[in-house]
Structures are given as structure tokens and as C-alpha cells.
């Protein structure tokens, strides 16, 4: 487990470096299209640096605001607080803050930069539709994400991948609406290749990276969560209920879908084997839990 935590910290740093490199590439393409590639390169690196700092410091608050979450009090839901406190004690980490989204679709996610600055967010539908042992299984799954430092990486991904996609949209707009200045012929052809790579391939690679890493973390959090509760069936039954629920989670989007315990975007649940899927197949997750 210690090695996993160290690996997650390294990946968080590498993620920032990779995003800065992608943004620098797009900045160079932007500048080259206007005749100033060096200026664009520097601007892209600066944007990447600012995005990395912001993602580390404020990504959790950005995610909570995007979800429309609010703090839940101990008097409002004592069972939820007692469950989180007991599981945090078992995991050997501080009890996280608890938030709730007033949405009838059952789901949950964890966010933050480390166990000392962590939040678990559940929807009203999760609290209302799950039995207590099932709810405990979901909270344990999210507690495992916190203990494993998944929350830092996945919260930063939500901000940084969004920054890459936003920059790519700006670059594509520049390509289509403003003519390039500079050399013609071969030089112009090389420039267009650079622009295509920067505007299309870079965000595509960023999304693929997010999806691939998220899938592996879900399997591990399932196993770690079952270890905390000593009752794998609780999470397995919860996954069945969440997946079977057909109510859409209104506040979810493709930028934050990878954070949730089950993909909140109903149209993507049937494409679990797709390269772009942020979650492994739920049937396989349930099978693994019930085989423990």
C-alpha cells in the first residue's frame, strides 16, 4: 500500500509535467500559426504551470462547486457521519468532510489533495435508496480512494484535462478562422501537421490517459473498501442498485465522470470496454467482490 501511495504521488507530478508539455506544444502551434512560435511556447508553458498549481490547490473545490454539493451536518445524517468516522479510523486517516448533492440519482465521489484535506460527497439518492450496509460499502470505496491518494490524481485530472481540451478548442478556432502567416509550401504543410497534432491528438491522449488510469483505480478501491468493511457483498449490492437506477445525475459531465463510484453518464454505462470509458465493467467489479 505504501508503494501505491508513493506511485500515486509520482503520477500526480508526472501528470502536471505531461499537461505542461501538451500545453507548450499547443502554445507553439498557436504562435507558429501567427509567426511567433517561441512566444506561443512560453505562453503555453505558463498556462500549464498556472493550471498545475490551481489543480493542486483548488481542484477539490472546483469539483464540489461543479456538482452543486453542500456540507452535510452530523445532526442531519448521524449514520453517515458515524460510518465515515469508523471507516476513517480503520483506514488510519483523518475523518473526511462530508458533502451531499440534492439529486435523486444514487452515486458518490471523493475529492481533495491528501487525507488531511479530503471530502466524500454522496447524492441524496444514494442515502435514500441504499440499505445501510450498502451505503457503508460505497463510503468505504471512497475512503479507499482517499487513503490511496487517488483523490489528488483524479481531482487534478478533472481540472488539467479540461484545460487541455479548452486550449485545443481555442487552437482549432484560430486555425479555422484566422489565416496563417509566414512561409508557404513545405513550411506551411509542416505547420499544419503540428497544428493537427496539437489540436486533436493532445487532448485525445489526455482523455485516454484519464480513462485508463481511472479504470485500474476503481478495481483497487473496490478491494480496499471491502477490506475496510470486511463485507464485500455490501459494495457489490450497492453497485447493482446504482447501475440499475435509470435516473440521470444532472450535475455530472464528462470532465468529472471519472470521479464517481459508477459512471453517472447513462449513455456511457453500456460502453465499459470502450477505450474512452472511465470505469471498468460493473459486472466484472461485482464478480471480483463476490469472489473474495
Q: Which residues are catalytically annotated?
A: 142
Sorted by sequence, the CB contacts under 8 Å of residue 38 that are 6+ apart come out as 28, 31
- SS percent in the chain: helix, strand, coil, step 5: 70, 10, 25
- CA-nearest of 210, 177, 178, 182 to 19 is 210
Provide the 3-class DSSP secondary structure of residue 194.
Answer: helix
117: β partners: 114
Q: List Cβ neighbours of 225 (8 Å cut-off, separation of 6 or more).
A: 137, 140, 141, 142, 143, 144, 235
Give the SS3 label for residue 92.
Answer: coil
| Residue of 282, 142, 163 whose CA lies nearest to 215 | 282
Joined together, the cell numbers standing for residue 152 give 489528488
* 97-101 and 117-123 strand pairing: parallel
DSSP string, 96-154: PEEEEE--SS--EEEEEEETTEEEEEEEHHHHHHS-HHHHHHHHHHHHHHHHTTHHHHH
CA distance 81 to 85: 6
Among candidates 49, 40, 24, 19, which has minimal Cα distance to 164?
19
Amino acid at each position: 500500500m505504501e508503494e501505491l501511495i508513493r506511485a500515486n504521488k509520482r503520477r500526480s507530478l508526472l501528470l502536471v509535467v505531461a499537461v505542461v508539455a501538451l500545453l507548450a506544444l499547443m502554445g507553439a502551434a498557436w504562435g507558429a500559426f501567427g509567426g511567433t512560435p517561441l512566444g506561443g511556447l512560453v505562453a503555453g508553458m505558463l498556462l500549464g504551470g498556472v493550471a498545475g498549481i490551481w489543480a493542486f490547490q483548488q481542484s477539490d473545490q472546483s469539483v464540489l462547486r461543479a456538482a452543486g454539493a453542500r456540507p452535510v451536518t452530523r445532526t442531519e445524517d448521524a449514520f453517515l457521519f458515524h460510518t465515515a468516522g469508523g471507516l476513517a479510523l480503520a483506514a488510519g486517516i483523518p475523518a473526511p468532510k462530508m458533502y451531499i448533492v440534492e439529486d435523486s440519482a444514487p452515486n458518490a465521489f471523493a475529492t481533495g489533495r491528501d487525507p488531511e484535506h479530503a471530502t466524500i460527497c454522496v447524492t441524496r439518492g444514494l442515502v435514500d435508496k441504499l440499505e445501510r450496509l450498502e451505503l457503508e460499502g460505497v463510503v468505504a470505496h471512497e475512503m479507499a480512494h482517499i487513503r490511496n491518494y487517488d483523490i489528488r490524481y483524479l481531482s487534478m485530472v478533472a481540472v488539467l484535462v479540461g484545460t487541455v481540451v479548452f486550449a485545443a478548442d481555442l487552437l482549432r478556432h484560430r486555425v479555422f478562422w484566422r489565416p496563417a502567416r509566414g512561409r508557404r509550401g513545405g513550411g506551411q504543410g509542416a505547420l499544419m501537421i503540428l497544428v493537427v497534432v496539437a489540436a486533436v491528438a493532445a487532448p485525445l491522449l489526455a482523455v485516454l490517459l484519464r480513462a485508463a488510469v481511472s479504470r485500474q483505480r476503481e478495481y483497487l478501491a473496490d478491494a480496499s473498501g471491502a477490506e475496510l468493511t470486511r463485507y464485500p457483498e455490501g459494495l457489490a449490492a450497492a453497485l447493482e442498485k446504482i447501475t440499475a437506477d435509470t435516473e440521470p445525475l444532472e450535475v455530472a459531465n464528462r470532465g468529472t465522470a471519472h470521479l464517481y463510484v459508477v459512471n453517472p453518464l447513462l449513455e456511457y454505462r453500456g460502453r465499459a470496454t470502450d477505450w474512452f470509458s472511465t470505469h471498468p465493467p460493473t459486472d466484472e467489479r461485482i464478480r471480483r467482490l463476490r469472489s473474495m
